[in-house]
Amino acid sequence: MKKIFIIALILRLICLYLFRNVTNYDLQSYLQVGELTSKGINIYPDISNLHHPYFPFFLYFEAIAYRIGQIGLISQISPILTIKLILIFFDLGINYLVYLLSKKDLKTAFLYAINPVTILITTLHGQFDVIPVFFVLLTVYLLNEKQELLSILSFSFAILTKTWPILFIFPVIKRINNKKLMILIFLFPFLFGLIYVWLFKSSPLDIVETLIYYQGLWGIWGPWVLLGKQGIFFQKLTTLIFLFSFFSYSYFNKNKNLIKNILNLLFFFFIFTTNFSIQYFTWIIPFLIIVKPKHYLFLILFISICLFSYYYFWLFCAGCKITPSWLVITQKIIGFILWLSFIKIGYLLKKIS
């Protein structure tokens, strides 16, 4: 496993160097939020609505990275580089958990180590989904080890980093025998929220409002692309219908294998979601690699191609003011084929589950 770990680290550091000059809206948001937080300025709700629609946790990493960039001899280390190094650390942690959850299968661990999806999303895009994914996988591992208290605390921390893990709340609580522990699921979001309110003179309602109104981009994935622009009311309505359907499916899903259960939910999400962002692909990769459904390697490859079609703009068209029409069309075609692939492979997974 040490050799695989070293390979994974080297690959990520090489990509970190190659993409060192890449910039995007999310990375600029890190800098803005980091600077304001380090100066003790409250970002909820006005700034957070656009730049940090999460619980107050990752903003501390952003603030630390910003501060490091202001220190004398190490000021040449950019805050973005510092943040991405933190993300690489958690991605390597995922690699080790994949190794453990696959019953210490080295081939499975190696496949995750070289998968281009999380490497690109982490070292190029700079998205921090690897942090909540790490804690979700740690939750699964701890549940398998019968460590219910630690697993609940890990899941609570996952929700703190991003609200995404709430999607998996039913499969997790069904595995908890001591139902009294359920009260701890929102411990860390509540605790960190109170700390932030105290430190930055904010309002709990402002934080809650930011979380409630956040959603991914509407109309860029699956059949929703065909509908074109729609009003906010229609977007919110379809989002609520999807969430109700998702949690209903999750509640009645009887798959006792937690890894397969979560993978089934992820397929449901990608097939039916109305809102989408490309960093969401981070979530499905470790579960795909552990479960290995039929054609999963094809799916990972096509996800990588889809990512590259979006990252092409940042890599080779940084000076462009708008995305070229040919690239927009290419992204939509690739995305639609990928959506159909999710349907096919998800159906095959459901048949064998």
- Note the pLDDT tens digit of each residue in 166-215: 999 999 999 898 888 889 999 999 999 999 999 998 888 989 888 887 87
Measured distance CA(30)–CA(105) in Å, rounded = 36
Return the sign of the alpha-carbon dihedral for residues 218, 242, 163, 276.
Answer: negative
Identity of the residue numbered 140: V
Burial of 330 from C-beta contacts in 10 A (0-12 / 13-18 / 19+): middle
Boundaries of domain holding 141:
2-352
The count of structural domains within the chain is 1
Q: Is the peptide bond before 45 cis (omega within 30 degrees of 0)?
A: yes
Identity of the residue numbered 133: V
pLDDT band at 352 (very low <50, low <70, confident <90, very high): low
**Residue 108 near residue 290 (C-beta atoms within 8 A):** yes
**Alpha carbon distances (Å) from 289 to 14, 20, 226:** 23, 28, 31
Q: What's the confidence (pLDDT) of residue 60?
A: 94
**Residue 185 near residue 152 (C-beta atoms within 8 A):** yes
Host H or E run for residue 212: helix 204-213
Cβ-Cβ contacts under 8 Å for 132 (sequence gap 6 or more): 158, 159, 161, 162, 164, 165
The stretch 66-82 carries a mean pLDDT of 73
pLDDT band at 351 (very low <50, low <70, confident <90, very high): low
Q: What's the confidence (pLDDT) of residue 316?
A: 84
In tens, the pLDDT along 119-167 reads 999 999 999 999 999 999 999 999 999 999 999 999 999 999 999 999 9
Q: pLDDT higher for 7 or 76?
A: 7
Q: What's the confidence (pLDDT) of residue 73?
A: 47
Measured distance CA(304)–CA(275) in Å, rounded = 20
pTM: 0.94
The mean predicted confidence, pLDDT, of the chain is 90
